Structure formats: C-alpha cells, structure tokens
Amino acid sequence: MAHALTLNAGSSSLKFGYFHLDTDAGEPDARIVGLVERIGQGQRAHMRAKGPDGAVLIDKEFGRNHVSDHGTALERVVAFLRDRRPDATLSAVGHRVVHGGPDFDAPVELTDKVIKRLAEFEPLAPLHQPHNLSGVRAALELFPDAVQVACFDTAFHRNHPWVNDTFAIPRRFYDEGVRRYGFHGLSYEYISSKLAEIAPHLHMGRTIVAHLGNGASMCGLMGGRSVASSMGFTALDGLPMGTRCGQLDPGVLLYMLQTEGMGADEIQNVLYRESGLLGLSELSNDMRTLEAAAKENERAREAISYFVFRIRRELGALAAALGGVSTLVFCGGIGENSVHIREKVCEGMGWLGMEIDEGRNLRSEQIISTDLSRVRVLVIPTNEELVIARAARDMLAQKEETAA
C-alpha cells in the first residue's frame, strides 16, 4: 500500500491530506485531511484535522509566532502525521501549484529544472506561488525518497479558444506569456469529475461553476472541459474576492501610478491585500463576518451586494460564451455554505431558465433548483486534495510502468 501527502498552500494557510493509494487506478482513500491556518508573524496558528469518519484528530492552537512560516507549518503537519502513523512511509507528495505558466498543461514531477521554471512565475501569483514553492522545497528535504508532483491551477484552462486566451494588446506580449490563464483549475477538475459521476447527462452539457471562497472565480465548461474563465493573467481578475479587487479598469492603475504617485509594491498590496470584500466593507474579508454584520452595517451590505452583482454579471457573460447553460454549480466556502449568497445570485434569473427552491437551498441539498427549473442548480463541495492525490497516484503508476 502506497501513501501520499497532499499540500495546498494559501497565503496564510496550509491544507494537507494523507491518502492511501492504490496505483491500479482505485480512487485515493483520504485517511486524514486537515489545515493549518493563520500562519505568519505575530499570529496564533491553528491546526485542525479529521479522519475519514469526520472524527476530529487534532484541534490545536499554537503560541504566538510558533508557526511563523509555511516551512514550520509543514514541520508541524509532519510531526502530527508521524505521531498518528509512525510506520507509514510516503511514496509521493502532491503539491498544488497555482501557476504553471504557458508550459504546463498537466501534472509534472518536480525536478530542479521544473522548480526553477516555476519560480519564474512567482510575480504572476505573489500571494500563492512563493508559498507553494517553499512547501515544495521543504517537502523535498523532509521526504527525499518520495516522488514530488506539481498540480497546476492553470492546467485545466490551457485549451481555451484563442479569444479567451489573449488580451487585445500588442501580440508580442502574448508570445512572452501574457495570457488569460484562469485559476482554481483543481477545483473545477474535481467538480467536472463529480458531475460526470452523479449526472453524466449534465456533464455532457453547458455548465457554469462558481467557485466562491476567499479566492473566487467562475468557469464555463462544455462537455466537462473549460472554455472560459473569469480569471485572467493573474488571480486578480474577474470576481471580487476576500481581499483581491477582481476585474478593474487598467486606467485605475495608471491613475494610482501617475496621479497618486504610488509604487508598484504599494499598488500590488492594495490590489491583493486591501481590496475586495475587505476594501469595500472596511470590516472584514470573511463572508460570515459580513453576513453577521450586514443588518447594522451598510458597508458590509454594500460589499455583499457588489460581490453578488459581479457574480450575476459573470453568469450572464459565461452563459453567452457557452451559448446557453444547463447546469450551475456552487462550490467553495461561500458557495457551499452561504444560503443568502446563492439565493441572491439566482434571484430573478428566470429569464435564464434558473429557479431555486427555497427549502432545498436552505438545507444546502445537492440539487437546489426547483423541479421545473430548466437549469439544474447544484451545490457540490469541492475537493482539490483528491485531484492532487489522483495525480500522485497516476505519477507513481507511470513510474512503476517505466521501471517494469
């Protein structure tokens, strides 16, 4: 029995999964899934993990500054896993890597050459790529004998039609790699595979997936393959997010540069860390906090309204790009849990053939549309970890075959 660890590093979090693998293509079996959050200077990090039956295996807060970076977070995760599974050796470590640039359209084994190339994409995803790669380096040191596999958020979108892959700027930029990459590909790949399993007839059709979490984007799929995405060159474009601005007139950047005299680092900080729900509400990047405050706090209400408005706009745009829509799927922390956001997104969408059932939505059922709704509206909890574990399994199988 082979074992794999999956790592998914966000700006201040590290999600992990411990899987049993059957390299003869059986589905990876998640034995432990967990998360370290609030990683960073001055913070009290928190680790939680559950077993396959949902039993809590650890729920622990660390002292301030005890988990100051992702390397230390990984050490804590490994210590916890070794404590739980002292005899297990890892055959593979699968990493979520946000940006694969124009080169990578499938998972790849992490060699020195690949890591060097991926480091060149750090400026394209400054909130994620450096953390992803520091996780890779730390894992290489901790598990030198394991196969290390990178799974890219951009890969699922690499076959977009050209009109969805380019910007209308001089062509030399496209040739240099300035393209619409799209992100959250691991999540979309999971949703696509799940749809194929639970509703193959819907999977064959035109689907819009709304991945609404701290990061948020939407994707149009035809027959399970991505044809358009709200995100572009970086993970800034499209929908507003927890702290990211979403779609922005590039003239605003010129204004910041020329009129406000802001530097590039300052602008980057505003667009990635101070905008989105946080920037508009001046309260929080967290939807739960905003929903709780919305009754009394007008700015929290306005931030939520802007979020919903942009999702609805994107829904219409993607429906047009797909030439219609047969299925809408909500996923991500907000998409899976916020009854209110789902209701507001679908409100008055009868013209698009979409109608949700209040009770089904309230109970977050798998299908929340009415029986008469032409568009099926679903809630599917996403599972990026499983997609990474599948890639680790396939890479191991491939290596076994080559060795045989």
| H or E stretch covering 221 | strand 216-222
Nearest approach in angstroms of CB 135 to ligand AMP is 17
Q: 287 labelled as ligand-binding?
A: yes
332 counts as binding ligand AMP under rule CB under 6 A: yes
Q: Is the separation of the CB atoms in 34 and 49 below 8 Å?
A: yes
- Contact with ligand AMP (CB under 6 A): which of 8, 337, 369, 373? 337
333 counts as binding ligand AMP under rule CB under 6 A: yes
Q: Which amino acid is at 156?
A: F
Show contacts with ligand AMP in window 241-280 (CB under 6 A).
Answer: 242
334 counts as binding ligand AMP under rule CB under 6 A: yes
Catalytic residue among 69, 112, 153, 357: 153
210 counts as binding ligand AMP under rule CB under 6 A: no
Q: Is the separation of the CB atoms in 220 and 229 below 8 Å?
A: yes
Q: Check if 394 is active-site.
A: no
Q: Is the separation of the CB atoms in 34 and 60 below 8 Å?
A: no
Nearest approach in angstroms of CB 254 to ligand AMP is 31
Question: For residue 231, what is the DSSP state?
Answer: -
- How many residues interact with ligand AMP (rule CB under 6 A)? 12
Q: 215 labelled as ligand-binding?
A: yes
- Report which of 304, 300, 311, 188 is spatially closest to residue 247, judged by C-alpha positions: 311
Q: Is the separation of the CB atoms in 236 and 128 below 8 Å?
A: no
Contact window for ligand AMP (CB under 6 A) among 155-163, 307-315, 330-338, 360-368: 330-338
- Residue 145, sorted as left (phi over 0), alpha (psi -120 to 50) or beta, turns out to be alpha
By beta-carbon proximity to ligand AMP, the closer residue of 105 and 286 is 286
- Where helices occur in 54-125 by DSSP H, the ranges are 70-84, 112-119
Q: 122 labelled as ligand-binding?
A: no
232 counts as binding ligand AMP under rule CB under 6 A: no
Q: 15 labelled as ligand-binding?
A: yes
Show contacts with ligand AMP in window 338-367 (CB under 6 A).
Answer: 338
Q: Which amino acid is at 124?
A: L
- Contact with ligand AMP (CB under 6 A): which of 9, 155, 227, 287? 287
Angle at 215 between CA 213 and CA 217, to 5 degrees: 90
| Tally of residues, the chain | 404
Residues of this chain that interact with ligand AMP (CB under 6 A) are 213-214, 242, 286-288, 291, 332-334, 337-338
Catalytic residues: 153
Residue numbers belonging to the annotated binding site for substrate: 96
